[in-house]
Structures are given as structure tokens and as C-alpha cells.
Amino acid sequence: MTTPKTPSVSSKFSFADSDITFKSSDSVLFHVHRKNLDVCTEGFPPAGISTDGSIVELTETSDTLELLFRFVYPERHPGLDTTPFEVLAPLAEAAEKYQVFPAMNICHIRLRDMAEEHPVEVAVYASKHDYPSLICEVAPMMIAMPAETVMEILPAHLVLPWTRYVEEWANVLHSALIPPEGWLASHRDNAKATAFGAYQAPATACSWPYYVIYCLQRLGVGVTSLCSLDDVFDMTTPPANRPTIDDCCQRALVNWRRQIEEAITQIPKFSDFA
């Protein structure tokens, strides 16, 4: 039979005059003052738990609670500037769970800064805790996620707006599947003319059709491809058995990508649909 672990006491939260004690999931005790909780939180102590002198057990680890309780005392609060995501995410969840208002705000700001590296987790957090502006910021990153995953993340009232938002991206993709017509003109500009102004065809076969097919295949995976245009227009691994790409074809590819990027910037924000 396993012997229960003897609880240790937090070195920072061991006030002798405390009137409430919390126990972390890894058996660390936190002796804190109820008045601080009353002023700075709305969810402490958790509803339905007796605080008649007994120890209140919480599901969070001691590392999370150590940070969380610092936000309910009159001291300089943690800036969280260098806090890794693995520490910040559970802190943000605890702040929302217990409504620790000073911590909620800074966690929201820091998670927004980390959205590009952790779009799925931040999207879950934003939708779960009703941060519509953050959902709007993460929305373009969520385009790259499988539709099933997004539907599982979003609350019911945002599913229809999301569908309309994705439709705008689909319209951009539809236009992107039509290569720019100006590539022929670029060929003419690149070709040499005789002294009499007669047009001379390029000496080598045109590589444009090969690269069109190559890019279309990548765009053909769907709207997610619009989030990885570097991959779509990556010519470091070109099609086999194609002519060497010339300057005018390269310019046409650049122009094609530029048109797609410009169209993406014209997509309304997700908040316009919500």
C-alpha cells in the first residue's frame, strides 16, 4: 500500500496569520489570506468547497499556484515576459477558472503574443473563455488547421460565422487557381528584338506550363495552402524533366504570389462575421 506523501509548505505562502489553506495536486500547502482572495478574485474558494478550517484541495500544481497567488497580494505582479508556454497555459486556465482578475489580463496578453507558435491551444483558450478579439487574431492561423479540428474548438455560436469566413478564403483560392495573364507580356519583354523590330522567340522551351502545374498541384490541397505560400512557390525542388526556368517565368511566379497575398489582405476580419 502506497504511503500518502507528506505535504510540504510553500516558502512564499506560509503566513502564520492566514485563514485559509490550499493544497496543490502535488501536495504543497499554501497558507493565504481570505481578504486578498475576496478583493482580487471571484472564484476563490471554489464553490461547493467547505472552508471551515479544513484544507482545500485544488487540481493545479504547486508551480501554477505559486504564480497565481502572487497576483492576489499587493506586490509587483509577475510580468510573465519570459514564462514558457508550458507554464503560462495552465496559469491562464487557473486564472480563468478562479477568476483571478489581475492574472487573467496579463495571461490573455501573453497568450496573444504566443498565438503564432501555438494557434490551436490559443484558439481553444480564446473560444472557451470568450475572447472574441483574440479569436479574430488567431483565425487566419486556424485556416491552416483541419476543418474538423476547428469545429471542435469553436463554440456553437461561432460555427456559422466561421463557415462564412472560410468561404472568403475559398474565393481567394478560386482566384489564385487562375495564373496571371501577364506572363506572356513578360516573355515578350524579355525576348530580344531585331534592328527592324521583329520579334524573336526565346531560344529555349518555355518552362512556364511546368511551373503552373507544379504550383496548382500545391494550391489544390485547399485553403490551407494559402497559409503556406512559401511552400507553394518553392522552386528548389522543381518538376522533373522540365526546361530551366528563365527570368520571365520567375517574374511571373513572383507576380502570381503577389496577387494572392494582396487578395488575402482584403479578406474581412473574422469579427465582421461574428
Residue ranges per structural domain of the chain:
8-114, 169-271
Reported as a pLDDT band with limits 50, 70 and 90, residue 48 is low
For the full predicted model, state whether its pTM sits above 0.85. Answer: no
Q: Using the predicted structure, report yes or no on whether residue 72 has a pLDDT greater than 90.
A: yes
According to the model, what pLDDT value does residue 64 have?
97
CA-to-CA dists, residue 18 to 14, 22, 162, 272, angstroms: 8, 11, 48, 49
Other Cβ atoms less than 10 A from the Cβ of 200: the count is: 9
Q: Using the predicted structure, report yes or no on whether residue 176 has a pLDDT greater than 50.
A: yes
What CATH number belongs to 8-114? Answer: 3.30.710.10
Q: How far apart are CA 107 and CA 200, in angstroms?
A: 64
- Tens-digit pLDDT profile for residues 184-199: 555 445 544 333 344 3
According to the model, what pLDDT value does residue 197 have?
42
State the average pLDDT for the chain.
84
43-57, 90-104, 179-193: which range is least confident on average?
Answer: 179-193
- Tens-digit pLDDT profile for residues 10-29: 999 999 999 899 999 999 99
- CB-CB contact of 138 with 115 (8 Å): yes
C-alpha cell at 1: 500500500
Mean pLDDT of 201-218: 73
Q: How far apart are CA 122 and CA 110, in angstroms?
A: 10
Q: Using the predicted structure, report yes or no on whether residue 152 has a pLDDT greater than 60.
A: yes
Mean pLDDT of 85-102: 96
- Tens-digit pLDDT profile for residues 222-270: 999 999 999 999 877 655 666 667 777 788 888 899 999 999 999 998 8
C-alpha cell at 263: 487578395
CA-to-CA dists, residue 111 to 42, 51, 101, 127, 128, angstroms: 22, 33, 16, 13, 14
Q: Using the predicted structure, report yes or no on whether residue 73 has a pLDDT greater than 70.
A: yes
Name which residue leads in pLDDT, 274 or 229. Answer: 229
According to the model, what pLDDT value does residue 109 have?
94
Going by their DSSP bridges, the two strands 28-32 and 56-57 should be labelled as unpaired
Cis amide leading into 45 (omega within 30): yes
